[in-house]
Structure 1
Amino acid sequence: MLPFVPFPLGWLRLLVAHDWLREAGVDAWLAAVRADWRLNRTFARVYSLRWVAADMLALRLKANRNWRGARPGQAVLMYGERNGVRLARCYSLTAVRGRMLELAIKRQPGGRFAETLIDNILPGDVLELGTPSGELAWPRDAASGVLLLAAGSGITALYGLLREALGNGWQQPVWLLHSVRQREQRAFVPELEALMARHPNLRVQWLITGEPAGEGELQGRLCAEHLRERPAHSLLACGPHGFVQEALTLWHAEPRAGTAQWEAFSPPPAPASTGGQPVRLEFARSGLRVEGDDQRPLLEQAEAQGLRPRHGCRQGVCTECTCQLLEGRVRDLRSGREISEPGQPIRICVSAPLGDVRIDL
Structure 2
Amino acid sequence: MRLLPFVLVRWLARPLAPLRALVAGQWLRVSEVDGVLAWLHPALRLNRVFARVEGRSWVAEDMLALRLRCNGNAHGWQAGQHVQVFLTLDGVRHSRSYSLTRVAPDGYVELAIRRQPGGRLSNQLLDHLSIGDVIELGQAQGDLQWPEQAQGVLLLAAGSGVTPLLGLLREALARGITAPITLLHYVREHGQRAFVDELQQLMTHYPNLIVRWALTGASERERDGRLSACHLEGLTADHALACGPAGFVQRATQLWPGALQSEAFTAPTRTSAVGSSVQLRFARSRQQAQGDSARSLLEQAEDAGLRPAHGCRQGICASCTCTLLTGTVRDLRNGALFSEPGQPIRLCISAPHADVEIDL
Equivalent residue in structure 2 for 1:84, among 88, 91, 99: 91
Equivalent residue in structure 1 for 2:36, among 11, 29, 40: 29
Q: Distance in 1 between matches of 2:262 and 2:35?
A: 40
| 1:15-26 → structure 2 map (5 Å cutoff) | 15-26=22-33
Aligned: 1:110 with 2:118: yes
How far apart are residue 13 of structure 1 and its match? 2.7
Q: Distance in 2 between matches of 1:169 and 1:136?
A: 19
| 1:1-361 → structure 2 map (5 Å cutoff) | 2=4, 8-98=15-105, 99-143=107-151, 145-212=152-219, 219-252=224-257, 256=258, 259-270=259-270, 273-274=273-274, 276-361=275-360
How far apart are residue 45 of structure 1 and its match? 0.7
Deviations 1:159-188 (A, max 9, x none): 001111111111111110000001100000
Match of 1:336, SS?
Answer: coil
Q: Distance in 2 between matches of 1:318 and 1:116?
A: 21
What amino acid sits opposite 1:59 in the alignment? Answer: L
Match of 1:119, SS?
Answer: helix
Change (3 A) 1:268 1:17: closer
Deviations 1:286-338 (A, max 9, x none): 11111111111111110111111111111111111111111111111122222
What amino acid sits opposite 2:149 in the alignment? Answer: D
Gaps of 5+ in 1: none
Contact 2:269 2:332 in 1 (8 A): no
How far apart are residue 56 of structure 1 and its match? 0.5
Match of 1:113, SS?
Answer: helix
How far apart are residue 15 of structure 1 and its match? 3.8
What amino acid sits opposite 1:269 in the alignment? Answer: T
How far apart are residue 339 of structure 1 and its match? 1.2
Change (3 A) 1:140 1:70: same
> When the two structures are superposed, what TM-score results if normalisation uses the length of structure 1?
0.93
Gaps of 5+ in 2: none
Q: Distance in 1 between matches of 2:77 and 2:117?
A: 29
Q: Distance in 1 between matches of 2:226 and 2:55?
A: 35
Q: Distance in 2 between matches of 1:207 and 1:30?
A: 49
Contact 1:206 1:218 in 2 (8 A): no
Contact 1:212 1:219 in 2 (8 A): no
What amino acid sits opposite 1:290 in the alignment? Answer: A
Deviations 1:329-354 (A, max 9, x none): 11111222221111111111101111
Q: Distance in 2 between matches of 1:125 and 1:297?
A: 36
Change (3 A) 1:71 1:8: closer
How far apart are residue 18 of structure 1 and its match? 4.5
Q: Distance in 2 between matches of 1:163 and 1:213?
A: 33
Match of 1:219, SS?
Answer: coil
Contact 2:80 2:99 in 1 (8 A): yes
Match of 2:253, SS?
Answer: helix
How far apart are residue 224 of structure 1 and its match? 0.9
CA RMSD of aligned residues (A): 2.0
Q: Distance in 2 between matches of 1:162 and 1:18?
A: 43
Q: Distance in 1 between matches of 2:167 and 2:335?
A: 28
Report sequence identity in percent.
56
What amino acid sits opposite 2:337 in the alignment? Answer: E
Q: Distance in 1 between matches of 2:228 and 2:150?
A: 23
Q: Distance in 1 between matches of 2:272 and 2:318?
A: 27
Q: Distance in 2 between matches of 1:125 and 1:292?
A: 43
Q: Distance in 1 between matches of 2:358 and 2:272?
A: 26
Q: Distance in 2 between matches of 1:11 and 1:201?
A: 50
Q: Distance in 2 between matches of 1:251 and 1:136?
A: 17
Match of 2:348, SS?
Answer: coil
What amino acid sits opposite 1:127 in the alignment? Answer: I
Contact 1:151 1:243 in 2 (8 A): yes
What amino acid sits opposite 1:313 in the alignment? Answer: C
Contact 2:328 2:353 in 1 (8 A): yes
